[in-house]
Amino acid sequence: MTAANSPAPASNFIRNVVDEDNRSNKYGGRVETRFPPEPNGYLHYGHAKSICLNFGLAESYGGVCHLRFDDTNPTKESQEYVDSIVDAVRWLGFDWKQHLYFASDYFDIMYACAESLVKAGKAYVDSQSADEMRATRGTLTEPGTDSPYRTRSVEENLDLLRRMRAGEFPDGAHVLRAKIDMTSPNINMRDPAIYRIRRATHHRTGDKWCIYPMYTFAHPIEDAIENVTHSICTLEFEDQRPFYDWLLNALADAGHFPRPLPQQYEFARLNLTYVVLSKRKLIQLVDGGHVASWNDPRMPTLSGARRRGFTPEGFRLFAERIGVAKADSWIEMSVLEECMREHLNEAAPRRFAVLDPLKLVIDNYAAGASELCVAPNHPFKPELGAREIPFSRELWIEREDFMETPVKGFRRLYPGNTVRLRHGFVVKCVGCDKDADGNVVAVHAEYFPDSKSGTPGADNYKVKGNLHWVSVAHAYAAEVRLYDRLFAVPHPGARRDGDPEGVERDFIADLNPDSIRVVQAKLEPALRAACAEDRYQFERHGYFIADRFDSAEGAPVFNRTVTLKDSWSK
């Protein structure tokens, strides 16, 4: 059984922790989580896993989940990213109520915490250079050595810290470090830096600060300020947990925060085949012009997913299905695509679209005449009603639905064969026209007037082929973008057999050259009225969405979300 059809997990280790905390009444039944993005890029599919987990936990335990911008690093952050993140979380359908926070709003408290540590003899100002600090840090197998500045007095440390804040020193001249243990087997406990001098304009606090807290110092404080109970992060922070606990206990001792303190839990990040899920790499795709923008429908960003036609429901289903584990693993892209199909199959009305048009002439149908055929909008949801499709003498059919000389097993149009034009008439192919080069330019057929779908005689016709079609005179001609996977290989940038020794493969070289194909399609006329973000199944082709930015009223253009079947599995 694959992950795609296994039942949704009833529980996971984080739910077990929450259940236990509720049982022991650790937090008085309170469940407060947070999703803490750094606004230094757009959110990607991996973040959706974290969002669904954090907001989902709060939802199911009657708690709240905060949306907190972890904006403590001024150089890479911007309001554009903040806005895109707000949009993405809301689009996924989650609500932080009044709990929208910015870590930069806590800079004063963080600074006060730093002074408290100094006063308690738990932090000191180090004046070694960055190189010296690196050299004395030790390695995984060797302990570090104490800085010569480690024994500075509380008064001297406090004075230096205040002057760092006042802007008396150049960038890099001093660093505030926690005073823990330079011989700890955990390198993160070897007197980690907690404040550095950095003259940079912050997108929210402007030039108020010239010292900024390090992420590992800021994050636990943010959780404590907000009274978070369960602070859930990805596995790479596991080694930081001892510092998280050390810091919050030191600050609780100093009276900054009440106990019980927030507790950190780590889960395995989402690794997904055929994409890259790292903001650093996504920025390269945008800046290098390999995609049109952050919200290019091929991008594994949530804004790209939205334009692509992926659905919030599909992401939630995906998050349920892949579950939450403690060990890293890879998830197949087909699992995500299948979740989208599952939701879209329910939600998307059906329409006819001819993507590679070839003309079919019904020789025995009067020129200039037309009539309406009735087609249900959804095969198993009668409540979605039906629409009318005009039928006339000249129709567009799919080029691949005709073969002058059929291969074995071909059941569609070829001279002498009979097929049903779906929701319309049964027709018999009588031949084709070709140009001077032998290319088929039109197919000819005759229709059976008593074979119209939905009329009493229709069932007398037994045919093997069932084709979609669009009347030439009534067709809505539109641009349709056929999107496919962004990368051609499951693990972009990973070494492959035959790669030269010692040379890293560039993930850009693994881009799929066929990730977009734009066609001029012939669509059934009802599609002309589609609004931006309306979703459809184009029968036999896949799921499509009217592009939210490029569609005009009465002139939608469509993006392919996903094909009906996985064409990538071997």
Interface residue list for ligand ATP (CB under 6 A): 36-38, 44, 46-47, 49-50, 233-234, 269-270, 277-280
Q: How far apart are CA 130 and CA 170, in angstroms?
A: 13
Q: How far apart are CA 470 and CA 394, in angstroms?
A: 9
Contacts of 244 (CB under 8 A, 6+ apart): 216, 219, 220, 231, 264
Cβ-defined contacts of 426-434 (< 8 Å, 24+): 426/451, 426/458, 426/461, 426/463, 427/360, 427/362, 429/402, 430/363, 432/402, 432/404
Q: Residue with structure tokens 């259940």?
A: 19
Q: Residue with structure tokens 């000819």?
A: 444
Q: Residue with structure tokens 């639905």?
A: 401
Find the catalytic residue in 34, 152, 190, 279. Answer: 279
- If you compute the radius of gyration of the chain from its CA atoms, what whole number of angstroms results? 31
Reply yes or no on whether 399 is catalytic: no
Q: How far apart are CA 419 and CA 463, in angstroms?
A: 5
Q: How far apart are CA 530 and CA 46, in angstroms?
A: 31
In angstroms, give the least distance from the CB of 102 to ligand ATP. 13
Q: Which tokens hold the place of 111?
A: 């600074």
**Contact present, 203 and 179 (Cβ < 8 Å):** no
Nearer to ligand ATP, 51 or 164 (CB): 51
CB atoms within 10 A of CB 279: 20
In angstroms, give the least distance from the CB of 277 to ligand ATP. 5
Reply yes or no on whether 279 is catalytic: yes
Q: How far apart are CA 359 and CA 441, in angstroms?
A: 7
Find the catalytic residue in 269, 307, 316, 351. Answer: 269
In angstroms, give the least distance from the CB of 245 to ligand ATP. 18
In angstroms, give the least distance from the CB of 261 to ligand ATP. 18
Residue type, 14: I
- Beta strands at 386-392 and 370-376: parallel, antiparallel or unpaired: antiparallel
Find the catalytic residue in 15, 26, 38, 411. Answer: 38
Nearer to ligand ATP, 87 or 181 (CB): 87
Q: What are phi and psi of 123, to 5 degrees?
A: -155, 155
Q: What is the 3-state secondary structure (H, E, C) of 256-275?
A: CCCCCCCEEEEECCCEECCC
Nearer to ligand ATP, 474 or 491 (CB): 491
In angstroms, give the least distance from the CB of 53 to ligand ATP. 8
Q: Could you write out the DSSP letters of every residue in 52-93?
A: HHHHHHHHHTT-EEEEEE----TTS--HHHHHHHHHHHHHTT
Q: Residue with structure tokens 């693990």?
A: 491
In angstroms, give the least distance from the CB of 317 to ligand ATP. 16
Residue of this chain nearest to ligand ATP (CB atom): 46
Q: How far apart are CA 382 and CA 365, in angstroms?
A: 31
In angstroms, give the least distance from the CB of 299 to ligand ATP. 13
SS3 480: strand
In angstroms, give the least distance from the CB of 233 to ligand ATP. 5
Indicate the helix (H) or strand (E) that contains 242: helix 241-253
Going from the C-alpha of 50 to that of each of 35, 98, 166, the distances in angstroms are 7, 20, 38
In angstroms, give the least distance from the CB of 16 to ligand ATP. 19
Residue type, 372: L
**Contact present, 394 and 361 (Cβ < 8 Å):** yes
CB atoms within 10 A of CB 206: 9
**Burial class, 28, CB count within 10 angstroms (exposed 0-12 / middle 13-18 / buried 19+):** exposed
In angstroms, give the least distance from the CB of 250 to ligand ATP. 23
Q: What are phi and psi of 249, to 5 degrees?
A: -70, -40
Annotated catalytic residues are 38, 269, 279
